[in-house]
Amino acid sequence: MQFGIFSVGDVTVDPTTGRAPTEGERIKAILAIALKAEEVGLDVFATGEHHNPPFVPSSPTTMLGWIAAKTERIVLSTATTLITTNDPVKIAEDYAMLQHVADGRVDLMMGRGNTGPVYPWFGQDIRQGIPLATENYALLRRLWREEVVDWEGRFRTPLQGFTSTPRPLDDTPPFVWHGSIRSPEIAEQAAYWGDGFFHNNIFWPQEHTRRMVQLYRTRFAHHGHGTPEQAIVGLGGQVFMRKNSQDEAIVGLGGQVFMRKNSQDAVREFRPYFDNAPVYGHGPSLEEFTEATPLTVGSPQQVIERTLGFRDAVGDYQRQLFLMDHAGLPLKTVLEQLDILGEEVVPVLREEFAKLRPAGVPDAPTHAALAAARQQTEAAK
């Protein structure tokens, strides 16, 4: 089980001071948060990708490359990489490059993006969102897995004799998660390819998350009856064996928490941020929201119990990412939150999840595991 954080990268006014950080301050804060995540023992840092204010992270690999140089252990990921409006050729190149720079500590989460104008700004049409995601991802997979690619499709210039450079580290493409909040087509896509499925699990009731994950698991098992070839391009021979069971699909969840030793203090301190947050504010109250959705504002113990409850809803899963730096929370507060997460919450969760996990449930794939599986497959040929 991996634990980590994901950042949306919003520049938001701190409602308690009336001041927003500059873009520069916010970018430096995100970098400091990423380093802190490694320091407190988390496994994953993931950044969003956006192309409109008030969000700053438009260039994820620039940011992740810097973090890679400053860290030793933490896996660098995205939440999400826009598979619709980015050229799949550029994604193939950028993230293979990042794999080499970061010695394999890289995976990606694909998403479509839900900001209408971003599509035309990048020459695309939001009404084609699903077909774009499907075609672009199929091309991306080929670019990482085939040395020379001839390709023709609907949405980009054909390729003749194209080789994406650098080649993926150890000829092992980064693991891919597919993030979706409500599109069954994306759960299907993740299941079809044997990739991971990530539900952000933030703004929606738990029951909705449960249904989406269940759909993915069912379809994952269904596609497990595919050809060995499919299995090899998926996760390697080892995982082909696992594909017989939906319990062995690769699932990630998001979540948002705010903690203080005393839960009343947490509620008091977080309330102004909740009330004014662009995505939360001015609708249901904090109390209604924490009741209806996985948002947890309280003591570390409450966060532990709520997070273990996610497992009851969706089954054993592989990756838990928390959103910690959102809605104008100052850097100092976020760093304190990460201390609490790393010291008081994650160690208990690791132990509890490990105790509850039946044998045979896979770990979240790492580069080392995927490269080893690939070598085994090659040797078996």
Partner 1 sequence: MSALNLAVVSGGLSVPSSTRLLADRLVEATTAALAGAGREVHVQLHELRPLAGPISNHLVTGWPSPALGAALEEVSGADALIAVSPIFSASFSGLFKSFFDLLDPGALAGKPVLIGATGGTARHSLALDHALRPLFAYQRALVAPTAVFAASEDWGGTGDSHTDTLPTRIERAGQELAALMTVGGMRPADDRSPTAPVLGFH
Residues making contact with partner 1 (CB under 8 A)? 203-205, 208, 282-284, 288, 292
User: Distance between CA atoms of 280 and 79, rounded to whole angstroms?
Assistant: 19
C-alpha–C-alpha distance, residues 294 and 309, integer Å: 9
d(CA 92, CA 245): 30
Within 203-345, residue ranges assigned H as helices are: 206-223, 228-234, 237-242, 263-276, 286-292, 300-314, 331-340
d(CA 333, CA 230): 46
In the complex, least distance from residue 114 CB atom to partner 1, rounded to whole angstroms: 11
The encoded tokens of residue 268 equal 């008091």
Amino acid at 370: L
- Name the minimum Å distance from CB 283 to partner 1: 4
Please identify which residue in the block is written with the tokens 């994901």.
6
Measured from the CB atom, the residue of 225 and 282 that comes closer to partner 1 is: 282
Nearest approach, Cβ of residue 294 and partner 1 (Å): 13
**Cβ distance to partner 1 smaller for residue 242 or 326:** 326
Least Å from the CB of residue 295 to partner 1: 11
Instruction: Decide whether 115 or 245 has the Cβ nearer to partner 1.
Output: 115
Whether omega for the bond prior to residue 166 falls within 30 degrees of 0, making it cis, is: yes
Q: Are 195 and 107 in contact (CB under 8 A)?
A: no
How many whole angstroms separate alpha carbon 271 and alpha carbon 286? 7
Of the pair 114, 227, the CB lying nearest partner 1 is at: 114
Cβ-based nearer residue to partner 1, 31 or 292: 292
When the beta carbons of 24 and 283 are compared against partner 1, the nearer one is 283
Nearer to partner 1, 18 or 283 (CB): 283
Identify which of 9, 49, 46, 51 has the alpha carbon closest to the alpha carbon of residue 28. Answer: 9
Q: By C-beta, is 262 or 285 nearer to partner 1?
A: 285
The edge-to-edge listing of strands for the beta sheet with 175-179 is 75-78, 44-47, 2-7, 319-322, 251-253, 196-199, 175-179, 107-111, 81-82
CB 284, min distance to partner 1, A: 5
- Quick one: 70 or 182, whose CB is closer to partner 1? 182
**Distant-in-sequence, close-in-space partners of 11: CB < 8 Å, separation ≥ 6:** 20, 21, 22, 23, 26, 53, 54, 55, 56
User: How near is the Cβ of 281 to partner 1 at its closest, in Å?
Assistant: 8
Residue 359 neighbours by CB under 8 Å, 6+ apart: none
Q: How far apart are CA 340 and CA 85, in angstroms?
A: 37
CB 290 to partner 1: min, Å? 13
Q: Smallest gap, in angstroms, from Cβ of residue 200 to partner 1?
A: 12
Summarize the chain as % helix, strand, coil (round to 5).
50, 15, 35
Residue 19 or residue 127: which is nearer to partner 1 going by CB? 127
| Least spacing, CB of residue 289 vs partner 1, in Å | 8
- Alpha-carbon distances, residue 203 vs 50, 64, 193, 216, 354 (angstroms): 19, 26, 27, 19, 27
Look up residue 278 and give its DSSP letter. Answer: T
CB of 202 to partner 1, least distance (A): 11
